[in-house]
A and B are shown apart, each in its own frame.
Chain A
Amino acid sequence: EPEVTQTPSHQVTQMGQEVILRCVPISNHLYFYWYRQILGQKVEFLVSFYNNEISEKSEIFDDQFSVERPDGSNFTLKIRSTKLEDSAMYFCASSGAGGRTDTQYFGPGTRLTVL
């Protein structure tokens, strides 16, 4: 069964450093998402991406964040200057061509630790 993959599984960085989290969505999906989950809390939406552009972003997704689909398979989340409060699990998700009622499938996540 196709699945979303993410790398790395764990990223440790110093405050102020840039990090890039990588995702390979399910191959025939058209919508891509990033969510984050601070330890012990609920999953929060960051950004959705469709047709090579951001379709929606939350208030969490400020100027320090950016997303990119550099080729036909990868989808990346960049945090330019990490802060301590960016420490969280970051989940990539993708969904197919059905749009709003289509199921979103989540990757295994990247645990980001900012020291």
Chain B
Amino acid sequence: GQQVMQIPQYQHVQEGEDFTTYCNSSTTLSNIQWYKQRPGGHPVFLIQLVKSGEVKKQKRLTFQFGEAKKNSSLHITATQTTDVGTYFCSEEGGSEKLVFGKGTKLTVNP
């Protein structure tokens, strides 16, 4: 079935360092969504990317959608302890359902 692969699975950084997580698919995606889940929390929608090569920014977060629409990345500049959580990419699995990657768990050491 459809799946999106996310790397790395875990990332530990010192506060102030940058962080990047990558999402890859073997098939062309119609769009991709990024969600953040804090420990013990629920997925919170961050952004949706639709266009080839699209780049969107939210404060310290930069989201990119590849030219071939097969990969995406989320980059956080100068991480803070509030960035702790698991970042999931998801794609619409050919219908309304979302197919999630396994996520990248980010821990930030103060």
Asked, given contacts A101-B50, A103-B33, whether A45 binds B42 with beta carbons under 8 Å apart, the answer is: no
**What number of residue pairs across chains A and B have CB atoms under 8 A from each other?**
61
Q: Is the CB of B103 within 8 A of A42?
A: yes
A82-115: CB near B (< 8 Å → 1, else 0) gives 0000000101000100011101111111000000
- The answer to whether the Cβ of A55 comes within 8 Å of any Cβ in the partner chain is yes
- CB-CB < 8 A to A44: which residues of B? 100
| CA gap between A42 and B96 in the complex, in Å | 18
> Chain B binding site: helix, strand, loop or mixed by DSSP?
loop
Counting chain B CB atoms within 10 Å of each CB, which of A43, A55, A100, A104 scores highest?
A43
A26-59: CB near B (< 8 Å → 1, else 0) gives 0000010101000001111100101000011010
B70–chain A nearest beta-carbon distance, Å: 18
A31–chain B nearest beta-carbon distance, Å: 6
| CA gap between A95 and B90 in the complex, in Å | 15
Q: Is the CB of A55 within 8 A of B42?
A: no
- Residue of B31, B88, B98 near A45 (CB, 8 A) is B98
